[in-house]
Amino acid sequence: MTGAAGRLSFWSAAWVIARRDFLAILTSRAFLFFLLGPLFPLIVGVLAGSIGQSIDRGGGATAPIAVAMEQSDADRVIAAREQFASSLNDFAPPLRKVGALPAGMAPSEFMDAHGSEFSGVLYGSLQSPGLAGSPALLENSKGPLTMLCSWAAAASVPKLPELALTPTAAPDTAQRPRDRLVTAQAAQTLLFLLIMLLAGMVLSNLVEEKGNKIIEILAAAIPMDALFLGKLFAMLGISTVGIAIWGSCAALILMLGGSALGAITAPAVGWTAFFALGTIYFAMGYLLLGSIFLAIGSLATTVREVQTLSMPVTMFQVLVFFFASLAIAHQGDILEWIAIAFPLSSPFAMIARAATQPELWPHALALCWQIACVALFIRLGARLFRRKVMQSGTPQGKAGNAGRRRLWTLLRKGSESRG
Amino acid sequence: MTETNPALAIEARGLVKRFGRNLAVDGVDISVPRGAIYGILGPNGAGKTTTLRMLLGIIDPDAGERLVLGESNPRNVSRLIGYLPEERGLYPSMKAIDAIAFMGALRGLPLKEGRLRAREMMENHGLGDAVERQVRHLSKGMAQTVQLLGTLVHRPSLVFLDEPFAGLDALNQGRLEATIRDLAADGTTVIFSTHVIAHAERLCEEVAIIAGGKVPFAGKVETARDRIPPRVQLETRSDDGPWRDALPADARKEGRSWLFSLPEGEVEDLLKALIASDAGIKSLSIERAGLHDAFVDIAGAAAAQAMKDNHPGETA
C-alpha cells in the first residue's frame, strides 16, 4: 500500500481518489441526471417520429381510392383486391365503389369535389382503366391497380402458392464497403457524443473541488498525476455504468421492437471485436480529452473561467471530429494517417478503420500510441497545475491584472511616443 | 546538505522560490527540533505559506535544500506528515466520519481503520452527535474541527498547520492550543504559521520570523525577546535634579512619568544613580519586551531593509 519510506504508491493514491469520486458521483443526484441525459433527445426524436408517422397516415395512406366504374367492373376489381389483401400486405390501397363518373365529368373535377374523402379515383373500364390522384399515389399505386384490373378483366384470378419461409442470418455484406462507411460514421458520432458529455463532467467535477478548497489537501498528500488519473478513472467508471445501463435499455427496446444489429452492416473486424475496440477507443478518447479538460479546470477558479477556457478546446474537438469523419472517405491516404497519428482524432479514425478494415494489428499500435499520449497529457497537466496554481501571493487574478496593467502601460507609452 | 541531524525534524537551508518576477521566498533557513512546537511568524504575504508548501513538497524550491524527517523529498515521508492548509475545505456531501477517514486514506491509512479512529476522535472532541452528519450540515467551527481531526487521524509525527487559529472563536482557539500541546507531549513535531503573535508566545519555544521572503530571525522565543531592551517607567517626587543625568538620552516624559528603554545589565547602575542623587523614586516598573515587540522590531527592520534593497536610489 505504501512505499518503503512511508509514501502512498502512485497507483494506490490514484485508487483512493478514484474510489471516492466514483462513489460520490454514483450516489449523487447529478448521476441520475447524467443517466437521463440521453433520454431527452430520444424522447424528442420519438415524438417527432410519431408525429411524422401520424401526419403521414393522415396524409392519405389510409384514404381509399374511389372506383368510378360500371357496377360489374367495380365489383370485380374490388373482389380481386379482397382476395389478395390477406396474403399481400398493403398490396393496393383500399377501394370504395362510387359509381361511374357522370357523362362530361373529368376525374380531376371528381377529386376537386371529393378530395377530402378519397386519395384518388380509378375510372374508365377494366379494359381501359384510368387513375387520377397525387403524383405519389400514381407512382405507388400504378402497378398494383393495373394488375388488379388485369385479373378482374380476365375473370380468372390466379391462385397464389404457399411460400415456404426459412429465416437466415443477415447477409454477408463484405462486398458493400459503402454500407460499412455508414457503420464507421455512426460509431464515430456515438463515440464523439459520449466523450464530450463525460469530459464536460470531469471539468465541472474539478472546478467543484477547487470551490470546496480541498485541492490543496489532495496536492499535499499525493502526487498531482495520481490525483488527475484517479479523477479520470472515476469518471470512466461512471461512464461504464452509464453505458451499461443505456446499452441494456437500448438492447431491450430493440428486442421488444423486433429490431436487431443485422439491420446495420457488420463491421470488417466483426461485431465482437468492434464492440471491444469501441469500448477501448471510447476510454482512450475520453482520457485524452479529459486530461486536457482537467488541466484547464485546474487553471480556472470559477465556472465562468472554465467556460471561457474550455470553449476553444470544445470547438477544436468538434473540428477534430469533422477531420476524422473526412478521413473515412480517404482511407489509405495521408489524411487518414494524419488522423490516426494526431492523438485527439486517433480514437475516431481507428474506430472507423475497425468498421472498414479487418486487420487488428494497427489497433495494437494505435492503442500504445494513445496510452503514451494520455500519460504525457496527464503529466503536463499536473506540472502546469503545480507551477501555475500552487503559488500564494500571486494568485491568477492578480497575475492577470498585472499583465493587463503592463499591456495598458505599453499601449499608453506607445500612444505618447506617437503623439 | 550532506549530513542529517537526527535531532531535527526539519532542516532547510537557503530555500528560494520565485513566481514569475515575484521573489516569494528568498533564502529561508529553518531548523525545527523533533517534538517541538515551532512557530513561523510573519505579516500577510511574507512568504509563510510558500515556505510551508516547499517543506511539504507541494512545490519545489528554485534553490536551496530541505530535509524533512531526514528525507530531501518530503513526498517520500508524506504518510508521516499531517497538513492543515490555510484555506479550509471538505467535500460538502460527505459524512464527517467519511471525510476524516478519506483524509487518512490519502496518507495511507486503511478506510476501515480510519473510520474507527474518526469516530473515537470525534467523540473525544465533543462531536459524537455529528459523526454521521454531512459536512454541509455542520457549523463552521465543527467543520474546522473535522478538518483538524482529518489532519491527525493517521497519527503523523510531523504536523503543519497554516494559520490554524484563523476563523476560530476564543473557546475553540483555546481547545486548539490544548490539542497542539497534547500532540507535542506525545512527541509529535508541530509547525504552524500565524500572524497572531500571542499564540506563538504561549505555545512555542522556538520561532522563525519571515518578512519579505527572508528570515531575519530564527531561534528561541526568549532570544527574540532579549533583542529588545526592557522598558522602564519611572515616576519621581521632584521634576528635576541632578538625577536626570542618570537617565538615557532618549528618555521621554509622558504625564508625570519618564519612559525609556534600558539594556538589562544597566538597571542596577541606574537604580544606584537615582538613589545617590536623591531622585525620590515614587514608582519604578521594568517591563520585559514581549514577542510581539520583538516581532514588530525585527519584521519592521526587515521590511525597511527590503524597501531599501528594492529601491536603492530612494532615501527615507
Q: What is the pLDDT of residue A220?
A: 87
Q: From CA B179, how far away is CA A131, in angstroms rounded?
A: 99
Q: What is the pLDDT of residue B106?
A: 93
Task: Give the nearest chain A residue to B90 (CA atoms).
Answer: A214
Q: From CA B294, how far away is CA B2, in angstroms rounded?
A: 34
Query: Is position B309 within any domain?
Result: no
Q: From CA B288, how far away is CA A232, in angstroms rounded?
A: 59
For chain B (length 316 residues), average pLDDT per consecutive 10?
78 90 88 93 87 90 92 90 87 92 94 95 92 92 91 95 88 90 94 89 91 88 85 83 80 86 79 82 85 85 72 52
| Min Cα separation B193/chain A (Å) | 14
CA distances from B112 to A12, B98, B157 (A): 16, 10, 21
Same domain, B16 and B157: yes
Helices A10-26 and A29-36 cross at an angle (nearest 10°) of: 80
Q: From CA B209, how far away is CA B38, in angstroms rounded?
A: 11
Let me know: does B170 contact B178? Beta carbons within 8 Å: no
The answer, yes or no, to whether residue A173 has pLDDT greater than 90, is: no
Amino acid identity at A167: P
Q: Do B79 and A2 touch (CB under 8 A)?
A: yes
SS3 B25: strand
Which residue, A61, A71, A63, is CA-closest to A111? A63
Q: What is the pLDDT of residue A56?
A: 54
Mean pLDDT of A241-258: 79
Give me the percent of chain A exceeding a pLDDT of 70: 73
Q: What is the pLDDT of residue A388?
A: 63
**How sure is the predictor about A255, in pLDDT bands with cuts at 50, 70 and 90?**
confident
| Min Cα separation B211/chain A (Å) | 13
Same domain, B171 and B215: yes
Q: Which residue has the cell 487518414?
A: A336
Q: Do A3 and B110 touch (CB under 8 A)?
A: no
Q: Do A217 and B77 touch (CB under 8 A)?
A: no
Domain end (from B167, B192, B220) = B220
Q: Do A217 and B78 touch (CB under 8 A)?
A: no
pLDDT digits (tens, 9 = 90+) for A27-68: 887 788 778 876 776 677 667 666 655 555 544 456 788 999
Query: Is position B66 within any domain?
Result: yes
Same domain, B141 and B234: no
Same domain, B112 and B259: no
The answer, yes or no, to whether residue A72 has pLDDT greater than 50, is: yes
- Scored b (16 or more CB within 10 A) or e, A184-217 reads bbebbeebbebbbebbbbbbebbbebbebebbbb
**How sure is the predictor about A127, in pLDDT bands with cuts at 50, 70 and 90?**
confident
Q: Which residues of A touch B42 (CB under 8 A)?
A: none
B264 CB-near residues (< 8 Å, 6+ apart): B226, B229, B230
What are the DSSP calls for A140-180, one per residue? HHHHHHHHHHHHHHHT-PPPPPPPP----PPPP-TT-HHHH
Interface residue B87 vs chain A (CB under 8 A):
yes
Same domain, B216 and B258: no
Query: Is position B313 within any domain?
Result: no
For residue A309, the Cα-to-chain-centroid distance in whole angstroms is: 26
Q: Do A8 and B79 touch (CB under 8 A)?
A: yes
Q: Do A24 and B105 touch (CB under 8 A)?
A: no
Query: Is position B276 within any domain?
Result: yes
For residue B181, the Cα-to-chain-centroid distance in whole angstroms is: 14
Interface residue B24 vs chain A (CB under 8 A):
yes
Point out the least confidently predicted range of A10-14, A115-119, A227-231, A414-418.
Answer: A414-418
**Cα three-residue angle A224-A228-A234, rounded to 5 degrees:** 140
Interface residue B75 vs chain A (CB under 8 A):
yes
Domain end (from B161, B196, B220) = B220
Q: What is the pLDDT of residue A34?
A: 77
Let me know: does A292 contact A313? Beta carbons within 8 Å: yes
Q: Do B78 and A222 touch (CB under 8 A)?
A: yes
Q: Do B78 and A8 touch (CB under 8 A)?
A: yes
B135 CB-near residues (< 8 Å, 6+ apart): B90, B91, B92, B93, B94, B95, B96, B99, B143, B146
A338 CB-near residues (< 8 Å, 6+ apart): A327
Same domain, B250 and B215: no
Which cell goes with B260? 525609556
Point out the least confidently predicted range of A11-15, A82-86, A373-377.
Answer: A82-86
| Min Cα separation B92/chain A (Å) | 8
Q: What are phi and psi of A26, to 5 degrees?
A: -60, -30
Q: What is the dihedral of CA B53, B57, B62, B67, to 10 degrees?
A: 110
Q: Which residues 30-49 in chain B show a CB within 8 A of chain A?
A: 45, 47, 49
Which cell goes with A280? 477501448
Query: Is position B295 within any domain?
Result: no
Higher pLDDT, A194 or A54: A194
Same domain, B90 and B167: yes
Q: What is the CATH number of the domain that holds B177?
A: 3.40.50.300
Which cell goes with B17? 522560490
Q: Which residues of B touch A392 (CB under 8 A)?
A: 24, 49-50, 53
Neighbour count for residue B146 (Cβ, 10 Å): 29
Same domain, B17 and B143: yes
**How sure is the predictor about A406, in pLDDT bands with cuts at 50, 70 and 90?**
very low
Q: Which residues of B touch A2 (CB under 8 A)?
A: 79, 108
The answer, yes or no, to whether residue A364 has pLDDT greater than 80, is: yes
**How sure is the predictor about A176, in pLDDT bands with cuts at 50, 70 and 90?**
low
SS3 A100: coil
Same domain, B161 and B214: yes
**Cα three-residue angle A143-A146-A150, rounded to 5 degrees:** 140
Q: Do B106 and A8 touch (CB under 8 A)?
A: yes
Let me know: does A239 contact A286? Beta carbons within 8 Å: yes
Query: Is position B292 within any domain?
Result: no
The answer, yes or no, to whether residue A399 has pLDDT greater than 50, is: no
Q: Do B103 and A217 touch (CB under 8 A)?
A: yes
Same domain, B157 and B72: yes
Q: Do A24 and B87 touch (CB under 8 A)?
A: no
| Paired strand residues for B208 | B40, B218
Q: From CA B79, how far away is CA B82, in angstroms rounded?
A: 8
Task: State the burial class of residue A168 (Cβ atoms within 10 Å of its Cβ: 0-12, 13-18, 19+).
Answer: exposed
In the Cβ-directed half-sphere of A105, how many Cα atoms lie within 13 Å? Answer: 18
User: Highest-confidence range of A103-107, A248-252, A258-262, B205-209, by mean pLDDT?
Assistant: B205-209
- Scored b (16 or more CB within 10 A) or e, B94-117 reads bbbbbbbbbbbbbbbbebeebbeb
| Min Cα separation A201/chain B (Å) | 17
| Residue ranges making up the domain that contains B120 | 8-220
Q: Which residues of A touch B67 (CB under 8 A)?
A: none
Which residue, A349, A30, A67, A82, is CA-closest to A197? A30
Interface residue B107 vs chain A (CB under 8 A):
yes
Let me know: does A277 contact A269? Beta carbons within 8 Å: yes
Interface residue B135 vs chain A (CB under 8 A):
no
Task: Give the nearest chain A residue to B76 (CA atoms).
Answer: A7
Chain A interface mutation, best of B16, B17, B19, B95, highest count of A Cβ atoms under 10 Å: B19
Task: State the burial class of residue B22 (Cβ atoms within 10 Å of its Cβ: 0-12, 13-18, 19+).
Answer: middle
Let me know: does B106 contact A8? Beta carbons within 8 Å: yes
Q: From CA A61, how far away is CA A395, in angstroms rounded?
A: 69
- Write down the mean pLDDT value for chain A: 77
Which residue, A217, A25, A213, A226, is CA-closest to B104? A217
Same domain, B203 and B283: no
Residues shown for chain B: 316
Chain B interface mutation, best of A8, A23, A214, highest count of B Cβ atoms under 10 Å: A214
pLDDT digits (tens, 9 = 90+) for A287-319: 888 888 777 776 776 667 777 777 887 888 888
SS3 B32: strand
B220 CB-near residues (< 8 Å, 6+ apart): B205, B206
Q: Which residues of B touch A13 (CB under 8 A)?
A: 106
Name which of A5, A223, A392 is nearest B50 (Cβ-Cβ): A392
Query: Is position B314 within any domain?
Result: no
Q: From CA B80, how far away is CA A184, in angstroms rounded?
A: 53
Which cell goes with B169? 472563536
What are the DSSP calls for A379-411, one per residue? HHHHHHHHHHTS-SSS-HHHHHHHHHHHHHHHH
Neighbour count for residue B255 (Cβ, 10 Å): 7
Q: What is the pLDDT of residue A400?
A: 41
Interface residue B3 vs chain A (CB under 8 A):
no
Let me know: does B292 contact B196? Beta carbons within 8 Å: no
Q: Which residues of A touch B103 (CB under 8 A)?
A: 217, 221
| Min Cα separation A308/chain B (Å) | 24
Q: Do B22 and A393 touch (CB under 8 A)?
A: yes
Q: What is the pLDDT of residue A14?
A: 93
Task: Give the nearest chain A residue to B18 (CA atoms).
Answer: A391
Q: From CA B140, how far away is CA A383, in angstroms rounded?
A: 33
Same domain, B67 and B89: yes
Query: Is position B307 within any domain?
Result: no
Q: From CA A74, how far away is CA A97, in angstroms rounded?
A: 6
Give how many domains chain B has, as a whole number.
Answer: 2
Interface residue B29 vs chain A (CB under 8 A):
no
Q: Do B94 and A24 touch (CB under 8 A)?
A: yes
Mean pLDDT of A123-128: 87
> In chain A, what is the greatest distance between 2 CA atoms, to the nearest angstrom?
108
Q: From CA A25, how far away is CA B94, in angstroms rounded?
A: 11
Which residues of A sit within 8 Å Cβ distance of B? 1-3, 5-8, 12-13, 16, 20, 24, 28, 212-223, 386, 390-394, 399
Give me the percent of chain A exceeding a pLDDT of 90: 6
